[in-house]
Structure formats: C-alpha cells, structure tokens
Amino acid sequence: MGQLIKQIKKNKVCYLFLAPYTIPFTIFLCYPIIQTVRYGFYRFTLRSFRFIGLKNYVNIFSDPTFRKAIITTCYFVIGSVPFIILIAVLISALLVKVNAKVRTLTMGIIYLPAVTSIITFTLMWKWIYNYQCGSLNYLMRLAGYGDINWLSNRYTALPALLLMMVYGSLGMPVILYVSAMINIPKSLYDAAKIDGASEWQLLWQITVPLIRPTTLYLLIVLTIGTFQTFIIVLLMTGGGPFYRTTTLSYLLIQEAFTYSHFGVASAMGIILLIVIATLTIVQFKFFSRDIEY
C-alpha cells in the first residue's frame, strides 16, 4: 500500500493530465455498465424494483422473440460485414490504379453516406423502396415486372435492409483500404510481374495479405456496429414483418422505452456485451496472426 501511495505521489502530474478524460469515462461509461449489471438481477419497471436473481435471464432465453432477434442479428452481421469488406477491397484496388483527382472525387462520392444524417439516409432509402411511388418499383415496371412491397414482404425486407447497409457502410473501408494499398512498396508488384503474376494474383497474393491489419480493424468495427443496428430498423420496418428484421438492439430498446422493462433490457444489454466481446476476442485470435503493430 505504501508503495502504491509513493507511485501516486511520484506521478501525480500525469494523473492530473489524465483526469479530464478518466473522470468523465468513469462517470458516463464505467458507472452505467456497473448499474446495468446490477439492474439485470432486478424486476425494474416504473412500478417496482425488486431483486429476482437470474429470472430475467431465464425469461429472456425462453422468449421466442429474443431467439428470433438473435438469429436476425446474426443474419445482419453475416449478410453485410463480409460483403462490405469484399466490395471495399475491390473498389480500392481499382482506385489505386487511377489518377489522384479521379480517386479523390470517387472516394468523396462513396463517403457521402457516412457524413449524411442517418435519419436522412434511411428516409431516402425508404422512398426508394416505397411500394407506390418508389424508384425501385418504377424500374421493376420498366423491366416488365410487377411491384414488390419491399419492406412489408417477409422474404424481401431483410435483404432490402442489408443492401442499404452495405451501400451506406462502404465509405470508411474504402478510404482506409486505399490508404493502406498506396503504402505497399511498388517493388513487390514489379517483382511479381516479372515472374508472370496476373492482376488477380497480385491482388490476392500481395495486396490482401499486406492489408490484413486494416481488414482486422474493419472486421471488428463493422461487426460491433452491425450488432448495434437500431435506427434503420426503427424507421424502415419497425422490426417487421413477423420479426424478420427485429435485431437484438431494437428489441432491447423496445423493452426499455416502450414497455418500461428496464431490468429485462439491462439483462439483454449484458448479453449483447458478452456476445460482442466474445466475437472480438475470436476475431483477434484468428485474424491477427503474423500482423505487426
């Protein structure tokens, strides 16, 4: 204990400079997490606050709506994150071969959805998918097909949201991949070309392995972001039809602020935290091999 006090006195200036960050971090992040863990063991509503142990967790896992939300959230992750990374790699590989002005203009256009309000972006896509006057159904009629109720059809609602998410999430990955690809030594490509490597081989044998740190970062960030999908579900489908687009985050917020089941929502939040933390650890273990930081 005495040694700890000596270290604190010795480094008190450092702690003073860290205080403007550590104090808000503790108040607005650490404390809410601790309280969320606590509330998960209580029947916490507007009318009652009573300790019930693990009953919230038991009720959650026995709820078919929660199981559907878990499956739908997995569909969101599997149906968007790999495609975002793959498309971003291909687009970036093309952009590094064009002149700087064209590259900058194209990257700016691709990045526009990232700087647009998520509500504005979502409402724009809702208009595109509109059954009566949407541009997508207009193109369907021109092609000789009938109108489709994209957001109310149980078979098209989820793919429609996934298409929107993939398009809206390409901005940051493309910029990061272009930056990473530009810094790859040109001599590596020249040596491979002398050995007769094709453009496809250059991409998959040189470019892809050397941008693995960027891929790992994007994989983690995009996975976490997809697990937190809420606004587009709220504005586009409201979780329907038949819970086909109800994500775990949407169900959590609905339990808290629609039904005032704060204890159940806290338990769901802890489950979501555990799932995201587990996936992040797995991604680091399997995708960070041979990566130097």
Report the distance separating Cα 168 and Cα 184, nearest Å: 27
Please check whether residues 9 and 118 belong to one and the same domain.
no
Give domain status of residue 82, yes or no: yes
pTM of the predicted model as reported, rounded to 2 decimal places: 0.89
Beta-strand runs (E) in the chain:
42-44, 49-51
At 251, which CATH number?
Answer: 1.10.3720.10
Please check whether residues 120 and 32 belong to one and the same domain.
no
Give domain status of residue 117, yes or no: yes
Give domain status of residue 102, yes or no: yes
Strands 49-51 and 42-44: antiparallel
Please check whether residues 32 and 73 belong to one and the same domain.
no
Residue 14 lies in domain? 2-39
Please check whether residues 167 and 215 belong to one and the same domain.
yes
Q: How many CB atoms lie within 10 A of CB 174?
A: 23
Please check whether residues 35 and 86 belong to one and the same domain.
no
Please check whether residues 139 and 9 belong to one and the same domain.
no
Residue closest to 69 by CA, chosen among 253, 259, 223:
253
Report the distance separating Cα 112 and Cα 35, nearest Å: 38
Q: State the chain's maximal CA–CA distance in angstroms.
A: 82
Give domain status of residue 172, yes or no: yes
Judge contact between 169 and 222, C-beta under 8 A: yes
Please check whether residues 117 and 185 belong to one and the same domain.
yes
Q: How many CB atoms lie within 10 A of CB 39?
A: 20
Please check whether residues 278 and 185 belong to one and the same domain.
yes
Please check whether residues 183 and 217 belong to one and the same domain.
yes
Give domain status of residue 50, yes or no: no
Please check whether residues 120 and 201 belong to one and the same domain.
yes
pLDDT at 236: 94
Give domain status of residue 67, yes or no: yes
Q: What is the full per-residue pLDDT of the chain (293 aa) written as tens digits?
A: 667 677 767 777 887 888 888 888 888 888 988 999 999 999 999 888 999 999 999 999 999 999 999 999 999 999 999 999 999 999 999 999 999 899 999 999 999 998 889 999 999 999 999 998 899 999 999 988 888 999 999 999 999 999 999 999 999 999 999 999 999 998 989 898 888 888 889 999 999 999 999 999 999 999 999 999 999 999 999 998 989 999 999 999 999 999 999 999 999 999 999 999 999 999 888 876 654 43
Give domain status of residue 21, yes or no: yes
CA angle in degrees (0–180, nearest 5) for 92-94-98: 110
**Strand partners for 44:** 49
Number of domains, the chain: 2
Give domain status of residue 293, yes or no: no
Please check whether residues 9 and 60 belong to one and the same domain.
no
pLDDT at 1: 60
Please check whether residues 268 and 132 belong to one and the same domain.
yes
